[in-house]
Amino acid sequence: MNAPPPVADDFALFLDFDGTLVEIAPTPTSIDIAPSLAGHLKRLERRLAGALALVSGRSIRELDDFLDPLDLPAAGLHGLETRFRAGEPAEPAPVGPEIAMLKEALSGSGLLSRGVTLEDKGAALAVHYRIAPDCEEAVMEVMRQVLEGLPDLHLVRGKMVVEAKPAYRDKGWAVSRFMEMDPFRGRTPVFVGDDVTDEDGIRMAQALGGFGIKIGDGHSEARFRLAGVKEVHAWLEETVSARARPPSRTTTPRSDSE
């Protein structure tokens, strides 16, 4: 496993939430938040002079609720919502009629009685089948059929979840926008994430001269890897507790693509 270097003072750090900062749970609301997490993130934000952002499939409001009273720069719903500066209101994503049509079709499919759950995110709809894994193919079939008539939406697959969302933004877009603004501008972008949707952020960070960190198993274009959430916390805590040095400019990290 190619371990990442310590966080350097010139990093712009982009963190996924579920599967990266918190363990994935059977339902979106049943996650366990480490009591120390908000404090570590706040100290890390200060260390990086504000160049720390959450980039998540969750809404920004959910992230704020889980990390209260912390309100970091964030991109929610895979970039559909944005808050480029801490303390400012989030810019909401426009909500079209397509999501309501998809929700109605799924509600009438019979899947909800088999353990499939819907998470209405406003501009996006997440369909969870973690407690009903045998429904995966049925979920995908229903969503593909409905989306044939809704070309403005596309599917984003994750760990035991599939989302339908407008196609014009993703986590890579969010990273690129943050990197155009202070205090992120001119820094080395680093994206940390565990899921397929995080690969857009990882690719963008690496295209802009930084690198990605893949959490857990599976294929990734990230140059570095950590085993899981505990290892992410240890990496962040090490950064907070000790002044880290920048990685060597003379070493080219190898690709990690298991």
**pLDDT tens for residues 33-76?**
999 899 999 999 999 999 999 999 999 999 999 999 999 999 99
What are the tokens at 148? 């044939």
Report the DSSP pairing between strands 11-15 and 188-193: parallel
Contact 95, 144 (CB under 8 A): no
- Which carries the bigger pLDDT value, residue 122 or residue 212? 212
Please say if the pLDDT value at position 250 is more than 50: no
Compute how many other C-beta atoms are within 10 angstroms of the C-beta atom of residue 136: 15
Q: What is the pLDDT of residue 122?
A: 84
Look at residue 150 in the predicted model and tell me its pLDDT.
85
Whether 253 shows a pLDDT value over 80: the answer reads no
Structure-model confidence comparison of residues 256 and 14, the more confident one = 14
Lowest mean pLDDT among 131-135, 167-171, 211-215, 242-246: 242-246
Q: Which residue, among 53, 165, 172, 84, has the nearest Cα to 120 in the 3D structure? A: 165
- Note the pLDDT tens digit of each residue in 164-186: 988 778 999 999 999 999 999 99
- Please tell me the distance from the alpha carbon of residue 137 to that of residue 155, in angstroms, as a whole number: 14
- The answer to whether the predicted template modeling score (pTM) of the entire model surpasses 0.85 is no
* Whole-number pLDDT of residue 52: 98
Task: Please tell me the predicted confidence (pLDDT) of residue 157.
Answer: 86
236-to-72, 121, 247 alpha-carbon distances in Å: 16, 29, 16
Kind and range of the H or E run holding 136: helix 136-147
Does residue 116 surpass a pLDDT of 80? yes
In 3-state terms, what secondary structure has residue 46? helix
Q: Which amino acid is at 6?
A: P
In which band, very low, low, confident or very high, does the pLDDT at 244 lie, cut at 50, 70 and 90? very low
Contact 77, 124 (CB under 8 A): yes
User: Is the per-residue pLDDT at 242 higher than 60?
Assistant: no
For 129-150, how does the pLDDT look when each residue is reduced to its tens digit (9 = 90+)? 988 999 999 999 999 988 888 8
16: annotated active-site residue? yes
Inter-residue contact 110 to 132 (CB < 8 Å): no
Tell me the average pLDDT of the chain: 89
What is the structure's pLDDT at 99?
A: 87
Rounded average pLDDT over 190-213: 96
Weakest mean pLDDT among 63-77, 99-113, 216-230, 240-254 = 240-254
Q: Kindly name the residue from 16, 64, 170, 200 that is annotated as catalytic.
A: 16
Mean pLDDT of 201-227: 97
Give me the domains of the chain, ranges plus CATH numbers. 11-91+169-241 (3.40.50.1000), 98-166 (3.30.70.1020)
